Structure 1
Amino acid sequence: MVGDLSYMLPEFIQSFLAGAAASGALTSALRLITKAAFENSKDSLRKGAILFFTISTFFELLCVLLYAFVFPKLPIVKYYRSKAASEGSKTVDEDAKQERKGNKQLLWENIDYALLIYTLTLSIFPGFLSEDTGSHSLGTWYALVLIAMYNVFDLMGRYVPLVKLLKLESRKLITATILCRFVLIPAFYFTAKYGSQGWMIFLTSFLGLSNGYLTVCVLTSAPKGYKGPEQNALGNMLVLFLLGGIFAGVTLDWLWLIGKGW
């Protein structure tokens, strides 16, 4: 999907990413609803989980079907695909046969982008927020509220780049901002240990806001300056970076458990 959108308009990528964040916010809302609905019933956790995953699976399958059968028939999609096809952009493998920068060169030119965003984000969210936030007045709702706040502000952050004055397009500034976010790791650690739940909610909201903002800045700015085949390949590579960052973040998430009986 991102590979397709990379050789279209940047606004399409922003809309897609905002939709992905909206799904996260709706997922959090659904989890809060199922918890409230079954909180006092027998096997409440099991019933809530079954309802949650049933609804989520339905919408996931619906999205797959829409992408497979409806998306390719949209006039705007047909236009950009035909335009890209005229430049020889169909798949990343076919792109390699065209006269363009190689995949290896594209990789090294953009490796400092999306990987670091999600390495940090997923090293904190959701594992640390669910396991290491202490006991507070919100009780069992606390972790759910934190995750919901992250998802809501992640959605908000993906609309901030629509304001041109607030959008980062310089590679150096984007990379510097991504690296600066790593100060959130000690901030979360000390807040969980010494701070109140208000500060934790604030940090979680900022984590989500910066994650959404930088994701859009990276995925809309990175393809600029490349040809159609290169944009297609780069879009797919950036998704690979995101997955790599997610894997690294989830792996590093276990480090928070060191010294806690593990």
Structure 2
Amino acid sequence: MADNYKNQAPEKLQGKYKAMVVSCILGIGSLVSWNSLLTIGDYYYRVFPDYHPSRVLIFVYLPFALGTILILSYHESKISTRKRNMIGYILFTVSTFLLIVLDLTTKGHGGIGPYTGICAIIALFGIADSAVRGGMIGDLSLMCPELIQSFTGGLAVAGVITSAFRLITKAAFEKSHDGLRKGAMIFLAISTFIEFLCVMLYAYVFPKLPIVMYYRRKAASEGSKTVSADLAVAGIQSQLTDDDLNNERLSNRELLLQNIDYAVNLFLVYVLTLSILPGFLYENTGQHGLGAWYALVLIAVCNWWDLVGRYAPLVKWLKLENRKGLVVAVLARFLLVPAFYFTARYGDQGWMIMLISIFGFSNGYLTVCILTTAPKEYTGPEKNALGNLLVIFITGGAFSGSALGWLWLIGKENAF
């Protein structure tokens, strides 16, 4: 490579903190549309009361996400990261806007037709999610840990923002005619704007940040073809030699075998998370003093503590990096299953709020600890591949958890 990156220290490069902020916003954009859909669940339960929207929509979303990430991960080394992420963010923008168009066209009426239309749009969400999350986590894995932590932190910020706005809009429109629908439409409009902002940031700002260019030049020197388009946008021509192109890298199978504990841990974290959130919170927690606000408050609390958990590892002595320790922590988290069962059946809302706080914190904390610890001591192309493999296990765990979530309906009247 013509660039003198080998003589530079990443810590001294300008733009690190700006890159962290942009990464956080891009993280928000990768989940804000889906979180918006979760937080307007009370509106969809009013329009489609017999169709279990919180369970069905996520069960539509995840198979498309899983199928897409499997395909993209298999061909990861040949796919331009820039094209992949741009397509993902554009697809998020368009599909979120289509939810508004569909609702306006049907005038907020229920029925199987509009519900099928929503399910089709949610399938697009799943495709966009895998394009963006796998692409971004793979790309950021070959950079410094602070950037991938900021991106994953953005996932939690998306939840906090959507929950806060939902509580505000519910309070503002609660007594007005068709208030739930008005709040939901405002919500989706804000999400559409955020997605469009992410398109602009990723297209014109992110690839030109010095620290991002540094790591991409380094990855290119190690044989990565996925960063070429982004380097070209930044005005840098990748000068790969034959030796660079012939650099041997570990196969996906070898990478997975060396990191199988990280992969399985992420799978188990999201099996549990999606078996509880959102279906259990909407349909299995009963009626309490908060009434119609109850599920929204629980989701807001969960999102807030998820955010706290994702930033807790910034305190070095709080970060868990020991591989055996991570396994123990992930398995211990399954004690929350009987805790949720007995709390929903016998406890009051105070105990449930405390429990959901632990649940949210542990989800964010373990996710960040695993993702920032795993991609080490590999070349850029290998880190990118490993990032994509880990996203497969996150998505697979989420899909399995959403399927297991239906078991909470056993014994309930009108369960199906």
Q: Normalised by the size of structure 2, how large is the TM-score?
A: 0.60
Matched, 1:157 2:309: yes
Map residues 56-135 of structure 1 onto 2, 5 A cutoff.
56-91=191-226, 98-108=247-257, 109-110=259-260, 111-135=263-287
Alpha-carbon contact 2:306-2:361 (below 8 Å) kept: yes
Matched, 1:229 2:346: no
Q: AA paired with 1:26?
A: I
Map residues 20-39 of structure 1 onto 2, 5 A cutoff.
20-39=155-174
- The structure-2 alpha-carbon separation of the partners of 1:75 and 1:133, relative to structure 1 and needing over 3 Å to count, comes to same
Alpha-carbon contact 2:280-2:408 (below 8 Å) kept: yes
Q: AA paired with 1:84?
A: A
SS where residue 168 of structure 1 aligns?
Answer: coil
* Bigger RCO (CA 8 Å, 6+ sep): 1
Aligned residues: 260
Which of 386, 399, 402 is residue 250 of structure 1 equivalent to? 402
Deviations 1:213-256 (A, max 9, x none): 00110100010232222111111211222222222222222111
CA distance in 1, matches of 2:168, 2:204: 32
Alpha-carbon contact 2:140-2:148 (below 8 Å) kept: yes
CA distance in 1, matches of 2:266, 2:202: 24
CA distance in 2, matches of 1:226, 1:113: 20
Alpha-carbon contact 2:138-2:384 (below 8 Å) kept: yes
Alpha-carbon contact 1:96-1:102 (below 8 Å) kept: no
Alpha-carbon contact 2:264-2:393 (below 8 Å) kept: no
Moved more, 157-166 or 68-77: 68-77
Q: AA paired with 1:79?
A: Y
Q: AA paired with 1:156?
A: V
Q: Normalised by the size of structure 1, how large is the TM-score?
A: 0.94
Matched, 1:40 2:192: no
SS where residue 253 of structure 1 aligns?
Answer: helix
Alpha-carbon contact 1:96-1:103 (below 8 Å) kept: no
Taking only aligned residues, the RMSD between alpha carbons, in angstroms, comes to 1.8
CA distance in 2, matches of 1:253, 1:57: 29
Alpha-carbon contact 2:173-2:179 (below 8 Å) kept: yes
SS where residue 134 of structure 1 aligns?
Answer: coil
Deviations 1:118-137 (A, max 9, x none): 11111101111111111111
Matched, 1:241 2:385: no
Alpha-carbon contact 2:219-2:379 (below 8 Å) kept: no
SS where residue 209 of structure 1 aligns?
Answer: helix
Q: AA paired with 1:151?
A: N
SS where residue 357 of structure 2 aligns?
Answer: helix
Alpha-carbon contact 1:154-1:211 (below 8 Å) kept: yes
Deviation, structure 1 residue 142: 0.8
Deviation, structure 1 residue 36: 0.8
- The structure-2 alpha-carbon separation of the partners of 1:196 and 1:140, relative to structure 1 and needing over 3 Å to count, comes to same
Deviations 1:167-186 (A, max 9, x none): 11112111221111111111
Map residues 212-227 of structure 1 onto 2, 5 A cutoff.
212-227=364-379
CA distance in 1, matches of 2:181, 2:311: 36
CA distance in 1, matches of 2:408, 2:284: 8
Q: Which one has the largest radius of gyration?
A: 2
- The structure-2 alpha-carbon separation of the partners of 1:138 and 1:90, relative to structure 1 and needing over 3 Å to count, comes to same
Deviation, structure 1 residue 68: 2.7
CA distance in 1, matches of 2:348, 2:225: 52
Which of 322, 328, 342 is residue 190 of structure 1 equivalent to? 342
- The structure-2 alpha-carbon separation of the partners of 1:80 and 1:46, relative to structure 1 and needing over 3 Å to count, comes to same
